[in-house]
Structure 1
Amino acid sequence: MPEELALAENYYALLGVPESASVLDIRRSYRELSKRYHPDTTDLPPAVAKEKFQKLQKAYTTLSDSKQRVMYDQQLRVASQRLYEYRLRLGVRPKVREPMRSSSAYLDPRERPLSAGEISGLFVMVISLLLCLLLAIAIAAFRGEAAFQPTSGIDFTTTSLAQTAVCLIENFLKLMTFISAFLIALKL
């Protein structure tokens, strides 16, 4: 029967990963499932646990080796095509597969959380900005009115250091508000 041509157990489905999964995703899923179904750690009957664990091992061995995976994918395509043709001859309409949304590879980039690298990059930028601001304030404090030229409507010849610092802090807060709004807009 051509339905037997379709591979009895799809290794991707067994490991719970899409066919486009990376080796890292396959390894991660295998480790999680092997902990759950290992005969020494599961509540399943020993025979069932052993069978399930061996299937997981076979799936992982096949999908983690690039040559074996290519051959398996080819066998899977051939079996799926034969099953499709058989069903057409029987008059069964093929099912339209819904796109998988569970894998992070299919998420809308605006919906995904920031990665650790992105968060650390933002952290470094904010710290750099703060250090630059502190450096500017220190230069203003030590060099006095010669450190800045009047560019923002502040007359440094008549203002005190405290007024200059207040103005700089206000401008800094405006800048931080802008950056916060920009980051929030990126997440939307």
Structure 2
Amino acid sequence: MSKTYYAILGVNPWASEIDIRRAYRDLSKLYHPDTTQLPKDEAIESFRQINEAYATLSNADRRNNYDRRIQFSRFQYASIENQVSTDATASNAQSRVPKNLQTIDDDGLPSERPLSGGELFALLLIGATLVACLVLVFLVALLRGDRLFPEAIAPLSIFWLYLP
């Protein structure tokens, strides 16, 4: 049998729409016939397969039909011996993982990943903006002749003495 659409895009069957879109973008940039170093016929065939896989997996109805056709189910099935067993405890039930699950984490949430270069640059810009704003406030206060610690702070300690 030929490769599944999931294998063509390089994602697992539990991939979200965002993961599928990212994989499609990366592969389409790599295999586009106008930009690749591959032979033209091979690039066109690869690009056609990538587009066909993305067109099917990006649409929820077509994806469900395709999953049924390849006999894939997103539901977790317990094996028959797990259902027959009556002495299963809660800790024992958690240790049994269905064979069709390929996720790393049990919580279903995305796993942590290192920040990309763009994300690090954005954090750097945010931090630099914060520091620049604080310096600007300090300079404006000095140019106006304001004191750093106004005398209004001292009477606040007396205010606390009169509270009931």
TM-score between the two structures when normalised by the length of structure 2: 0.51
1:129 match? 134
With a CA cutoff of 8 Å and minimum separation of 6, indicate the structure with the bigger relative contact order. 1
Aligned equivalents of 1:28 and 1:147: distance in 2? 53
- AA paired with 2:115? R
What are the superposed Cα offsets for residues 35-85 of structure 1, whole Å, 9 maximum, x if unpaired?
Answer: 433445442472x4443222111111112223323433x427x7146xxx9
Question: What is the percent sequence identity of the aligned residues?
Answer: 29
Q: Aligned match of 1:55 in 29, 49, 52? A: 49
Structure 1: distance between partners of 2:33 and 2:148: 77
Shift of 1:98: 6.2
Question: Which residue does the alignment assign to 1:75?
Answer: 68
Task: Quote the offset at 1:27 in angstroms.
Answer: 3.5
Structure 1 segment 17-28 matched on structure 2, within 5 A: 17-18=11-12, 19-23=14-18, 25-28=19-22
Given that 1:36 and 1:42 are in contact with CA atoms closer than 8 Å, whether structure 2 keeps it comes out as no
Greater Rg by CA: 1
Give the direction of change, closer, same or farther, for the CA distance of 1:118–1:66 in structure 2 (3 Å limit). farther
CA contact 1:37–1:53 (8 Å) conserved in 2:
yes
- Match of residue 115, structure 2, among 112, 115, 124: 112
Superposition deviation, residue 96 in structure 1:
7.1
CA distance 1:62–1:95, shift in 2 (3 Å): closer
Aligned equivalents of 1:96 and 1:134: distance in 2? 59
TM-score (structure 1 length as normaliser) = 0.46
SS of match in other structure, 1:106: coil
- Kindly tell me: are residues 39 and 120 of structure 1, through their superposed partners in 2, closer, same or farther at Cα, counting changes over 3 Å? closer
Return 5+ residue gaps in structure 1 as ranges.
Answer: 89-93, 152-188
Distance 1:98 1:58, change over 3 A: same
Q: Does 1:149 align with 2:113?
A: no
* SS of equivalent to 2:151: coil
Letter in 2 for 1:75: R
Structure with bigger helix share is: 1
Structure 2 gaps of 5+ residues are 81-98, 154-164
The number of residues matched between the two structures is: 123
**1:112 maps to amino acid:** L
| Alignment RMSD (CA, Å) | 4.1
Q: Distance in 2 between matches of 1:146 and 1:28?
A: 51
